[in-house]
Every structure is written in C-alpha cells, then in structure tokens.
Amino acid sequence: MRRDGLSLAYRSPYLFRLQPTFGEMRARLEERLAERTRIAQDLHGTVVQGIVSVAMQLDVAVDQLPANSPAKLRLSRVLELVRHVMEEGRNAVRGLRSSNSDSDSDSDDLGQAFSRIPQDLGIEVQIDFRVIVFGSARKLHPLIRDEVYHIGRELLVNAFRHSRASCIEVELEYAPKRFRMIVCDDGCGIDPQVLRAGREGHWGLPSMGERAERIGARLRVWSRAAAGTEVALSVPNSIAFESRIIEKLAGC
C-alpha cells in the first residue's frame, strides 16, 4: 500500500529531522536509560507496592464477610479490578526496565508486537491488517525499539478506531543505511486540525515528531480526505541498530 510517487492534496508541514553526532546520541540514550530505570524503581516502590497493599487488605476484608452478604460479591469484583490494575502496573514497570535487558526476548520482535495490537484492542470489525517485513530483521537498540513501538502503536490505535479503513498495513524495513517503519491505511484521512493537535487523550503528530527527534529519527506524514494516510518513520543505521552502536563504541 505504499504511496511512493502519489501526489496528495494534503501533506503535513510537520517534517522533523535531527542529525546529532554519535557522541550526543549515545549520551542521550544513556541518559534516557538511566531515567527509565529511576522511574521504574520509583513506580515499583510507591504506586505498585501501594496497590499490592490495598489488594491484600481488601482480600482480608472480603474473606471476613459472610458468604451470603451482598457486599461480598461487589467487593470481590472490586478486588479483581485492583488485581488487574496491579498486574498492569507490574507490566509497565517491566516494560520500563526491559530497555536495560540484553535478552533476545519476543519483545525485540516488532513484527509480532504489532501483529498482536488488534487483539489487544479488542477489534471485532473485519479489517485487512498486514505486517510486512523487508530485509533481515536486526536487533534495534532497546530505546529505539521502544520509541518505534510506541509511535507505531499510537498510529495503529488511531487507524483502527478513527480511519474507517478497510485495509491497514505496517511495513518494517531493515535496510543497510536505515530502519524504516511505515503505517498506512486506505481510510478517511486525517483532519488538518486533528493532525496538528491530536485527539483528546492521544498524541498529535507534532508530539510524535518530537519523540522521533529525540532518537535522531525523521517523521513524514501524508494524508488526504477519503484517500487514507501514510506515516513513515526513518532512523539512520548508526543510531537504530545495536550492533552498529557497539561497533562505534569499540572504535572510540
């Protein structure tokens, strides 16, 4: 569903590009890794542990209620909700800490991660959804991978919920000089106001561009009413791939 060479009536003025030196990029990545670790520790030590304490006390209270008490059923449902929130909190902390992990887990497979998004969103409408990988998949730097995933996920959430598309496609390209992700659909296009400011509770494209800038990437957007939308995120190989960063560090 690539739109290469297609003339579109609306092309976003928001073109973000940043070309930091390798030393600057390395310093940024190290700083962000340290900050993510600190946030994960703070969340685990305060919010998550607080929810665990609430769940334990609520569990005791439910056990002390008579079996035929109307409140027992209601509180049991509340307890299940608290446990769900607790697990979500733990998953969020694990996600923050995963950027420091050297394991080759499934979280490194962007194709699989994107393929699961319709199921995670509970999408029931029949939409032709494809994830296509070009080139041999290579391990991305953990922070690059995380930012690519979060940007791609937000784009897919918007496409599934708002584009009224019959076909949505993600392309992941592992090229010699770059990593590129393209998310495109054949839906209704993006209103210029929404493109600038985003929807309530969601990032606007400018915010995504700012996230792209922080990892030394470039974000391009094409959209036209009734002709769909395409968003391309491109990251130079010197920044994107973990092996390239290790090679440069070895040469320092």
Contact assessment for residue 26 and residue 245, using Cβ atoms and an 8 Å cutoff = yes
pLDDT in tens, 44-64: 677 877 888 888 888 888 888
Which pLDDT does position 57 carry in this prediction? 87
Counting Cβ atoms within 10 Å, is residue 7 exposed (0-12), middle (13-18) or buried (19+)? exposed
Q: What is the pTM of this model?
A: 0.62
pLDDT in tens, 166-190: 999 999 999 999 999 999 999 998 8
pLDDT in tens, 188-223: 988 777 666 666 555 567 778 888 888 889 999 998
Which pLDDT does position 15 carry in this prediction? 41
- Among candidate residues 14, 11, 13, 8, the one with its CA nearest the CA of residue 227: 8
β 178-185/128-134 pair status: unpaired
Structure-derived torsion over alpha carbons of residues 152, 123, 230, 26, reported in degrees to the nearest 10: 0
Q: Which CATH number fits domain 22-30+103-251: 1.20.1250.20, 3.90.1150.10, 3.30.565.10, 3.30.2080.10?
A: 3.30.565.10
Chain mean pLDDT for the chain: 77
- For the chain, the structural domain boundaries read 22-30+103-251, 33-100
